[in-house]
Structure 1
Amino acid sequence: MVMRNPLIKRIPKELKTDWRKYIVIIVFLVMMIGVISGMYVGRESMLEAIDSGKKELNLEDGSFELSKKATPELLEQIGEKYVDRIYEQFYRDESETKEQDHAHETTVRVFRSDAKVNQASFLSGRAPENVDEIAIDRMHADNVGLSIGDEIKVGNHTFEIVGLLSYVNYLTLHESNNDLMFDAFGFDVAMVTPEAFESLDARMHYNYAYQYENEPSDKIEEADMAEDFLKHLAGVVYAAGNGIEDYLPEYLRQASNFAPSDIEGDSTMTGILCYILIGVIAFIFAITISNTIEKEASVIGTLRASGYSKREMIMHYMSMPIIVTLIGALIGNILGYTAFRNVAVNLYYNSYSLPTCHLVWSNTALIKTTVIPLVLMFVINLLVIVRKMQLSPLRFLRHDLNKVKRTKARRLPRWTFLRRFRLRNLFQNLPNYVILIFGVIFIELMMCFAFGLPDSLNNYSTKAPDMMFAPYQYMLMDYRDAAGQTIDTKEATAEAFSATTLLYEKKQGGFRTGMGSGGDEAVTVYGIADDSAYIRTDVQLKKGEVCLSSAFADKFRLKDGDEITLHAEYENKTYHFKVVGRVNYDGGIAVFMPQDAYRNLFGQDANAFDGFFSRREITDINNQYIATVITQEDILKVTNQLNHSMGGLMNVFRYALIVMTAALIYLLTKIIIEKNEHSISMIKILGFENREIVSLYMIPTTIAVIVATLIGFAVGYVLMVWIFHIFMLQMDGYFVFYMKPESMILAVGYLLVGYVFVSVIDLGRIRKIPMDVALKTMD
């Protein structure tokens, strides 16, 4: 019969005796694992819903709009190449106003409820069944304050809202595919019955959705098929006396691809946050187990002298951290798959017009938030315990756990006794205060993240209108009109330019983006006029030479003399350039070259161009030739949507951070007090009152916390700038990390306020230390 290890009986007793410390550790673990797990699970649940929705809701492979309704014969001719099915998906763009508020008008794109392609997922309510019923986009309804049962006016007709939906091809509300950002406030999509649709007055858009007979194997093949199909489409359509108003392959549709691409990119931010918090956990476990061993040095020495082996002692002291971590991981994952997952999903619903999603299992969440912390805890504790257990039982009995001993006391200034005692106390606990500084650095790093990201977005929003090249930027469908004549304008401030988009591989030149795949960066290549009034290069560019935007140069640390390579996304073409200068432009990742060099490089006609910069509105170009117009309102739309999308996430993170901050400070100050229990007990025997003892021990700690906070913020801010740059490398575009002065004060103030609350608990700890502690631990 095998005898049970008597040390097992100490585990419940230890848990009961030091339950506050373990509760705090469990709370920290629960918050960390719960929040990160919830973000991963919510992300993967939403991506699964989007992917499954493409099949269940019959997403198109592309669409085209004709000038007039196609005949059955024309549709049959169109379907002769690549295409298996063609569906009518006509729509009307009407005005939408609240029944009680006609001052704010929205554009609503209305579809029929009997569509067989690009169908909708209903998040609440149902599809319209009567001519006076309508279903509208769920996100738009949330943004403008509409709900089921409300009435809205669409054109000249009044409808009752009976459903809130998400169209599979409108996951973001892009009115035009050329819009910089979707607009869930000023644009809506809706569904009405076929009878109600026919009664609307707005112009009918003869839009047709198609699906390929054979699914392309990759994006390059899909691009080739789309290009070949467009040539075929144009041939048969124009031969039939019809015209093409628009053509859009699905893989280029922003409204269906922007949201999943952005959600996939969220793993970068989640990963960075996870790595930071794993580092915090490793730090907590290291100091906690070291403190536990020092606190129980006499017990360990007695047990070792009684015959217990090092292996038995290591297993015993490993058990409690493992038990605590498992409890925290279990509760954290339960919350991650329930409450925190719902928070993450709601944040996505707050940003995009997404379908109903269901819970999915996330291996990534399990590995990063549970398996890695468990392994990390096991390894760190094992290393610390094994190292400590190399000491002899006698040294444990004497509390002699330090390898380096000071042979001579440090000489102090001739101050009063109390001031010298505090200074001596500060020197004696210097290693603990150094540990405190490292803990505070972690806290301030997270504080900088929580406050700095919204500040950075707001700062970018404020400066964004000033980053525009011109108040108006027009992109044309073609530089020639229907008659083949070059489009021109009488606007004196208009200046023609050329532009296209290429890709920059983020791993060029030995550069590594770090965590995540990162993908390729979209770069806008501008061909600008000589002596441009809008873009100043300040250098004379030769063949193969370019200037970079300041955002491009700063993001990838590029400088004059560097070589860069850009490539086309759907063609096997690469372009090599030498960097010779930069343009002070933080609004985008861009490359600038002379317009003649641009035309030669891309094989364009001598007078080809893609748009106009202008200080005033251009009114003498037919709207049918204008692809998009970018104004200050469009730039503000982008930044406002970013703030709307990110604000909720940062609020959730701040709340979680406050709890974790208090927990970490509690653990650190608890360690300092426990290491001074013997000294505190001794001066109680000497007759010092609790008030005097508090002043002797709390004042040095308070000074150390203030100094640690200031040092921690400075180091945390610098680290956050570096981490933020890595974060931006995974994203498209670039803006710098920024914190407002008041945010800096709050980042420091939150920690100090947390310390004040913890100090109240510390006062109670000091008062409860009995006098017999000094007698029990006498050498």
Structure 2
Amino acid sequence: MRNPLNKRLIRDLKHNAGRYIAVAVIMIASIALLSGFLATADSIKEDFYSNRKECKVEDGLFTSYFKIPKETISKAEKLGVSMYENYYSDELILKDTTLRIYKERKDIDIATVMEGKLPTSKNEIAIDRLFAKNNSFKPGDTIKIKGKVYNITGTIALPDYSSLFEKNSNLMMETKYFGVAIVSDAAFSDFNDSSLVYNYSYHFKDRNLDKKKKADLSEELKKNLVNNGVSLTNFCTAANNQSISFIESDMGSDVPMMKVFCYITIAIMAFVFAIIIMSTIDEEAPIIGTLLSNGYSKYEILSHYIKMPIIITLLSASIGNLIGYIVLPSAFKAMYYNSYSLPQCTIKINREAFILTTIIPICIMILINILALTLKLNISPLRFLRRDLKKHSNNKPVKLPAFKFVSRFRLRVILQNKANYLMLFIGIFLGSVILLFGLGMQPMINHYVDEIKQSSIAGYQYILKSPVDIKEDSAEKFTMYSFKTYYVGGKRDVDVSTYGIADKSKYLSKLSLDKNNAGVYLSDGLMKKLGSSVGGNIKFTDPYSNDVYTLKIIGSYDYSSGFAIFMNNEQLNKLLKYNKDYYNGYFSNKKLNIEDKFVATVITPNDMVKLGQQMTSSFGSSMYMCIVVAILIYISLMYILTKIVIDKNALYISYMKVFGYEDNEIRKLYLHATTIVVIASLIIGLPLNYVALKYCFLLALAKMNGYMDIFIPAYLYVAIVAIGVISYLVINYFHVQRVKRIRMAEALKNRD
């Protein structure tokens, strides 16, 4: 026999269509965003590392002034490496644009064809996909190199150029003004002139080496080559090669941000489910009482009232996942593919995303409904019939001040609905946090870049491969070494640049360090991220020797370019067992005349502009999507919560119509009370939004090797209030129509 209660499901859906649609919008928007992003990020990461393995990405490279004899290569390979010729030629094309041309790779760093095909004849070339995109090239076009026209046969992705760095010393990528390409062996013979670079790639035969063993073997290989007469102009491991390793530190760095967004939306969904079920019980108390009186068990009633939320949740989850996996991946993939040269990826179902966006919300919804219904169903059928669902108290009504009648009435409405308005405040608060989360990211990035520029130590920071004497008044020597320290909040090690500076540095004059003082200054961001304090100790680990050092913190220094430690030069050299006069860097406010072969990195304040552009590119798409989803959630939440208040006052609104009040007068008494609460909630919640946002960003930026202060411009607070008010005014229009539809007959029904 079919359950007759099932017939009520359709009526319930029609009666509460607005409420269920609003809930569905929240769930569909958040599930689509989160499942789409997490699935895309995970799929790209999985296919990226799989491609690197299949295409045999190099473990390092070195270049020489001359071609290396085969017997020298054979001696070096006995150490446990395979070595391959990987010559290239840098050619100028267009305006200020460099194209690095290789011959087709067959044994190492094998190209992945993205579109078209690989070149076969002497007048054909295949170029990097990202470079082609940024310079409006496509297969079938032609490109002129050294006066010769080449047909572009396809676009490619090279595993050793996932990030397009022309020089390893560059701070940021140049995806428009630098690219890579391959030509056939026959075509490459045209580049055998003075511009040819004798570049070699090596690959470890033992694929199970750990980081330290890889570094040791690379160092041994380097010494072997030098001892056998090779004049090296460059030697770089894959770990130190930004073209290979840069993406690894960025890959998935914005996943924590999206997970924070996910946790907030899950909290909102739990909050909404709780409100809806409590409201449903209040509205249908007489029906529940009648069913209990007619012999229906508590289990049957519970299973009936839980069906519609489950149906809405499952339907929303299905639609959200379909949108997330089919519609949104193209937008999320653009976040990565607009910055990096990556192979193609296939979007796969993400188990973690499914749990976070589907399983957890369903479990929360079921749990909250069961708890709420179980507690309420302990009330007797008679009390349900009388709508007597609250605990009685002897508290007298609050005595109101001698305001005008309308003001007192509105205040009384607010007091009588204080529990509902408290829910409204919490809902507005959560919605505002999400909205501020999306709106605040871009200003924070801009502020962060400005801080980096202002706290720059010098116009130029030269990091050298080996000491080079410079006779320049502006040049000041320093030692720099990279340590690691454990970051508890992120449960991982973070890289820290340690500067050994001169006793009386003219570039860091605010620091008081001498060779007899073993203490260190921490950059302000590192101090805040680690939660350290002056007078405490901090442990650092040498990533190559695994030696552990414990140093005393004697102060902090305003330096925003990254995590840094500042100590006396002689003290650092002593710590590292270097000669006391050793150095590997220069501070200077002028460009120094140092040969490129001696330079590892040059950092200038102007590089920070590129950093800001890169961060904006990485976070941009997700920021805009967060804003859109936040506004949808914001409007839906406000609609649900304000509708519940009106529904609970429907009887009293009906009484007022019986007494001759017009719709406009009723609206001023009831809807304006809600308006006051909405505006007050928006304004009062602003400082709480900031506090909540602070902790959200701590979690969201846990993977970032840097520290960003929370910076929210005043205009964003105004924007939050404005968006909230505008959203409410839109919603209020529908509530006005609802008030008009409330019949006077409601007052004639026996409600007690």
Please state which band the TM-score falls in when normalised by the shorter chain. Answer: over 0.9
Aligned counterpart for 2:607 among listed residues 634, 637, 642: 634
AA of the residue aligned to 1:465: K
Deviation string, structure 1 residues 274-329 (Cα, Å, up to 9, x no partner):
11111111111010111111111111111112222222222222222111111111
After TM superposition, list the pairs within 5 Å mapping 1:63-462 onto structure 2: 63-83=61-81, 85-97=82-94, 104-200=95-191, 203-236=195-228, 238=229, 242-405=230-393, 407-462=395-450
Offset at residue 722 of structure 1 (A): 2.1
Q: Kindly tell me: are residues 540 and 618 of structure 1, through their superposed partners in 2, closer, same or farther at Cα, counting changes over 3 Å? A: closer
2:31 aligned residue: 33
Q: Give the drift of 1:406.
A: 5.7
Q: Equivalents in 2 of 1:260, 1:606: separation in Å?
A: 35
Matches within 5 A, 1:674-713: 674-713=647-686
Structure 2 partner of 1:546: 520
d(CA) in 2 for partners of 1:318, 1:533: 71
Question: In the alignment, is the contact (CA less than 8 A) between 2:171 and 2:601 conserved in 1?
Answer: no
Cα distance in 1 for residues equivalent to 2:614 and 2:74: 42
Q: How many residue pairs get matched?
A: 750
CA deviation after TM superposition for structure 1 residue 636, in Å: 1.8
- The whole-number CA distance in structure 2 between the counterparts of 1:750 and 1:696 is 24
Match of 1:623 in 2: 596
Question: CA distance change for structure 1 residues 321 and 449 in 2, over 3 Å: closer, same or farther?
Answer: same
1:520 to 493, 503, 521: 493
Greater mean deviation of Cα atoms: 313-322 or 497-506 = 313-322
Residue of structure 2 equivalent to 1:482? none
User: CA contact under 8 A between 1:118 and 1:168: conserved in structure 2?
Assistant: yes
CA distance in 2, matches of 1:129, 1:522: 45
One-letter amino acid of the structure 2 residue matched with residue 227 of structure 1: E
Separation in 1, partners of 2:34, 2:571: 49
- Could you tell me which amino acid in structure 2 is paired with residue 185 of structure 1? K
Please name the residue that 2:540 is paired with: 566
Q: Deviations over 1:590-628 (max 9, x none)?
A: 111111111111111122101110111222x33332222
- Counterpart of 2:628? 655
Residues 11-26 of structure 1 aligned to structure 2 (within 5 Å) = 11-26=9-24
Q: CA separation in 2, counterparts of 1:88 and 1:670?
A: 72
How far apart are residue 528 of structure 1 and its match?
Answer: 0.1
Which AA in structure 2 matches 1:449? F
Q: Give structure 1 stretches of 5+ with no counterpart.
A: 98-103, 480-486, 508-512
Distance 1:202 1:351 in 2: 32
| Counterpart pick for 2:504 among 510, 531, 534 | 531
**Equivalent position SS for 2:253:** helix
Tell me how far apart the structure 2 counterparts of residues 428 and 381 of structure 1 sit (CA, whole Å).
25
Kept in 2, the 8 Å contact 1:423–1:700? The answer is yes
- The reply on whether 1:716 has 2:708 as its aligned counterpart is no
Contact 1:474 1:626 in 2 (8 A): yes
Q: Distance in 2 between matches of 1:48 and 1:728?
A: 22
Deviates more, 1:540-549 or 1:581-590: 540-549
Q: By how many angstroms is 1:504 displaced?
A: 0.7
* 1:574-653 matched pairs, under 5 angstroms: 574-619=548-593, 621-653=594-626
Q: Deviations over 1:747-779 (max 9, x none)?
A: 222222111111111111111111222222431
Q: Secondary structure at the match of 1:181?
A: coil
Tell which deviates more after alignment, 743-752 or 488-497. 743-752
Superposition deviation, residue 149 in structure 1:
4.0
Q: For 1:45, which of 38, 43, 46 is the aligned residue?
A: 43
CA separation of 1:454/1:393 partners in 2, compared to 1, >3 Å: closer, same or farther?
same
Cα distance, 1:490 vs. partner? 2.2
Q: Do the aligned partners of residues 646 and 80 (structure 1) sit closer, same or farther apart at CA in structure 2, a change above 3 Å counting?
A: same
260 and 591 in structure 1: CA distance in 2 versus 1, 3 angstrom threshold = closer
Residues 131 and 195 of structure 1 are in contact (CA less than 8 Å); yes or no, is this contact kept in structure 2? yes
Q: Distance in 2 between matches of 1:547 and 1:536?
A: 13
Change (3 A) 1:413 1:169: same
Q: Distance in 2 between matches of 1:115 and 1:639?
A: 37
Question: Counterpart of 2:251 in 1: which secondary structure?
Answer: helix
For residues 140 and 688 of structure 1, what CA distance do their matches in structure 2 show? 70
Of the structure 1 ranges 492-501 and 646-655, higher mean CA displacement relative to structure 2 is found in 646-655
Are residues 1:503 and 2:484 paired? Answer: yes
Q: Are the aligned partners of 2:335 and 2:620 in contact in 1 as well (CA < 8 Å)?
A: no
Is the Cα contact below 8 Å between 1:537 and 1:581 reproduced in 2? no
CA distance in 2, matches of 1:745, 1:398: 46
Change (3 A) 1:536 1:729: farther
Give 2:643's aligned residue: 670
1:535/1:583 contact within 8 Å kept = no
Q: Deviations over 1:553-586 (max 9, x none)?
A: 1222211111100001232211110101111212
Q: Distance in 1 between matches of 2:671 and 2:417?
A: 12
Change (3 A) 1:348 1:623: closer
RMSD across aligned positions (CA): 1.9
Whether the 8 Å CA contact 1:140–1:188 is kept in 2: the answer is: yes
Query: How far off its partner does 1:38 sit?
Result: 0.6
**Which moved further from structure 2: 705-714 or 124-133?**
124-133
- Following the alignment from structure 2 to structure 1, what is the Cα–Cα distance between the partners of residues 172 and 314? 44
SS at match of 2:606: helix
Deviation per residue, 1:63-110 (Å, 9 max, x gap)? 222221122222222211111x3221111112121xxxxxx4122211
Counterparts of 2:67 and 2:24, CA distance in 1: 66
Whether contact under 8 Å (2:169, 2:599) holds in the other structure is no
| Contiguous gaps of at least 5 residues in structure 2 | none
Task: Tell me how far 1:537 sits from its aligned partner.
Answer: 4.6
CA distance in 2, matches of 1:186, 1:736: 32
For 1:752 and 1:160, locate their aligned partners in 2 and report how far apart those are by CA, in whole Å.
58
Residue 338 of structure 1 aligns to a residue in which SS? helix
The reply on whether 1:469 has 2:457 as its aligned counterpart is yes
How much has 1:269 moved relative to structure 2? 1.5
Identity of aligned residues (%): 35
Residues 144-192 of structure 1 show CA distances to partners (whole Å, capped at 9, x for unaligned) of 4443444444444443433222111111112223332222133211222
What is aligned with 1:8?
6
Corresponding position of 1:484:
none
For residue 474 of structure 2, what is the aligned residue in structure 1?
493
> Which stretch shifts more, 631-640 or 146-155?
146-155
Worse-superposed segment, 196-205 or 287-296:
196-205
Per the alignment, in what secondary structure is the counterpart of residue 91 of structure 2? strand
1:560–1:581 Cα contact (<8 Å) kept: yes
CA contact (8 A) 1:107 1:186 kept: yes
Partner amino acid, structure 1, of 2:676: I
SS at match of 1:605: coil
Distance 1:212 1:365 in 2: 36
Displacement over 6 Å in runs of 4+: none
